[in-house]
Structure 1
Amino acid sequence: MKRRTILYVITPETPDDQISQAAEAAATTDAHLMCLMLGAAPMLPMYAYGVPPYGGMNIPDNWTETVADAQVAQTNRVQAVEKLLAASNVSGDVQSTMCATLDVKHVVAQYARVSDEAFFAPSLREMPDFLREAASGILFHSPIAFRMNGAAAEKVDRVMIAWDSSSAAASAVHAALPYLKEASEVVIACIDPVAMTDRDGPEPGADVAAWLSHHGCHVTVSQFPSGGRDVGQCILDRAQENGSGLVVMGAYGHARMIQTVLGGTTRTMMDQKEQPVLFAH
């Protein structure tokens, strides 16, 4: 039996219908759905009294109860999600964690390393710090890609690749190959290409088009000038014009100890909520 594992990153507030939809999509493709529920650990409130260094710290008496209540609430939600998966007749499981923001990337990366692809639930946007760190865990600490926006059950008929001959873009194309093979049309969009041997080659996009055609993909190459506009917005405009159900692109930036720094185009594409996008680094 061959079965892909989809890492579905959710929160305790992710609606039942979104989870059921993802489960039904996984069942249709005979994939294993690993739901990773990220809960925010309660902040430890500490109150100082006196004058340092002779003062002290006071922890509220109900702190233990606060933590216990949060853990019980998340456990109950995990059990509810497990019932949803069972009702959908999908191969799946639920992993749960309550953590601080800075630990999210490591938790997500741990599960991403044993998955084939990740999909972020829309509810993750309501926790922007968690969203940023989850993206960091996938992009900089795992070998897979992640998708945002749209529904997991949607069939992708047209795909647009934001191609710039970089290793990140190449990683994204490799990760998206299952979608590209099933699409009726694949557009390789080169924004402001530089037709030089040491940049995008004498025919920008031609090399990746030839490779994809060997896989049976129906490919066209288009070059678009940005006109000085934001490249991310140009990608969105071209995707809308082409009716693309998915944009495939490399994510740029680098991981740091404290926070993730993403490039402007990557941030533009992550911030928008309409166009489905697959990112890889």
Structure 2
Amino acid sequence: MNRRTLLFVINSETADTVLEEAAEATEKTQGHLSLLLIDPAPALPIYAYGGPPYSGMNIPDNWGEMVDEAQRAQKSRVQKIEQVLAQSGVSADVQSVLCATLDVKRHVARRARVCDEVFIAADFRETPEILREAAHGVLFHSPVGLRLNGSMATDANRIFVAWDSSETASSAVHAALPYLKRAEDVVIGCIDPVMTTAGDGFDPGTDVAAWLSHHGCRVTISQFPSGGNEVGVCIQDRAREFGADLVVLGAYGHARVLEAVFGGTTRTMLEQTELPVLLAH
């Protein structure tokens, strides 16, 4: 994991202690910490007056002042963050942006494309729409993995890999390889595997287990029935039984619009806050 660049997406509410933990964890691996501070821009309130076809639009006079104030507040926070990083001695940089929610994915994706991994601060749980856009920016518009929950400083000694032989699951395992190689125990968990040639093979999980073993990973394979329960819930239950420090899984194996409307494993794992997860698409 040496010399890796970790993108940490934060907002102005992210505590200094969290930043210090991230800096310490990055310094320990001789990596580079790239911070992206994202705050919502003041909404542009536009009011209509009159009636069609002669109606017009009116922008409040103080909107520009609101934007200036938000920019000053964010600049002040950036300066404080730079002081925290300077005291830690870690190799780091800070970028900041005020933007509308729909633009979050674009800013996150652009930074993620030149990093090795992305971690999103827990503060974004308070703004789920921004968290969702940031996650989609990483998963759909960058080639790296996304980590949620837990702390960067926590070692992943026991890792549960949710495996279904899909392209997304493979992407997640590749993204998690640095952690898997350092882990003490890795479980390849197959939920309701389809034991056919066209499905997961006649011995699901053995191929990825063999590959990880070649990397020196200590791997076991387990196949679990869902019992009719939602797969995301099964993953959480089995991961807790294993005592997992990290869950690795592919994101949005089905069409994104279907999972957004009807829910799905990815949505379940994104919304839960107990288990640290690493996702990739």
Instruction: Tell me if 1:27 matches 2:27.
Output: yes
Q: Within 5 Å, which residues of 2 pair with 1:98-117?
A: 98-117=98-117
Instruction: Name the CA distance, whole Å, in 2 between partners of 1:69 and 1:262.
Output: 40
2:155 aligns with: 155
- The residue number in structure 2 matching 1:183 is 183
Match of 2:146 in 1: 146
Question: Conserved in 2, the CA contact under 8 Å of 1:133 and 1:260?
Answer: no
Partner of 1:13: 13
Mapped to 1, the partners of 2:153 and 2:263 lie a distance apart of 29
Within-5 A mapping of 1:46-61: 46-61=46-61
Amino acid at match of 2:41: A
Residue 151 (structure 1) shift = 0.5
Q: Deviations over 1:167-196 (max 9, x none)?
A: 000000001001000011000000000110
> Counterpart of 1:176 in 2: which secondary structure?
helix
CA–CA separation in structure 1 for the residues paired with 2:88 and 2:94: 14
Q: Secondary structure at the residue paired with 2:153?
A: coil
Alignment-derived partner of residue 167 in structure 1: 167
Give the Cα–Cα distance (whole angstroms) in 1 for the partners of residues 272 and 127 of structure 2. 15
Q: Which runs of 5+ in 1 are unaligned?
A: none
Shift of 1:67: 0.7
Aligned to 1:223: 223
Q: How far apart are the structure 1 equivalents of 2:262 and 2:206?
A: 28
2:21 alignment partner AA: Q
| Residue deviations 1:82-115 (CA, integer Å, cap 9, x gap) | 1111111100011101111111111111000000
Matched letter for residue 123 of structure 2: S
5+ residue gaps, structure 2, are none
1:37 is aligned to 37
C-alpha deviation, 1:125, in angstroms: 1.3
Structure 2: how far apart are the matches of 1:43 and 1:131? 18
- TM-score w.r.t. length of structure 2: 0.96
What is the letter of the counterpart of residue 198 of structure 1? A
Deviates more, 1:143-152 or 1:47-56: 47-56
Contact 1:136 1:255 in 2 (8 A): no
Q: Measure the CA separation in 2 of the matches of 1:145 and 1:254.
A: 19
Q: 1:69-88 maps to which residues of 2 (within 5 A)? A: 69-88=69-88
Deviations 1:39-63 (A, max 9, x none): 1011111121111221211111111
Query: Is the Cα–Cα contact under 8 Å of residues 140 and 255 in structure 1 kept in the other structure?
Result: no
Distance 1:254 1:228 in 2: 21
Offset of residue 203 of structure 1: 0.2
What secondary structure does 1:53 align onto?
coil
TM-score by length of 1: 0.96
Identity fraction in percent: 62
Q: Relative to structure 2, which stretch is displaced further, 124-133 or 210-219?
A: 124-133
Distance 1:262 1:165 in 2: 23
1:266–1:255 CA distance, 2 compared to 1 (3 A): closer
- Please, which moves more after superposition, 113-122 or 125-134? 125-134
Deviation at 1:263, TM superposition (A): 5.3
* Cα distance in 2 for residues equivalent to 1:141 and 1:62: 36
Which residue is 1:135 aligned to? 135
Q: Which letter maps to 1:41?
A: A
Instruction: Indicate the larger mover: 124-133 or 267-276.
Output: 124-133
SS at match of 2:223: strand
Q: Which secondary structure state, in structure 1, belongs to the residue aligned with residue 137 of structure 2?
A: helix
1:194 partner letter: V
Query: How many Å apart are 1:254 and its aligned residue?
Result: 4.8
Q: What's the CA shift for 1:18?
A: 0.9
Size of the alignment, in residue pairs? 278
Taking the aligned partners of 2:143 and 2:47, their CA distance within structure 1 comes to: 43
Which of structure 1's runs of 4+ aligned residues deviate more than 6 A?
259-262
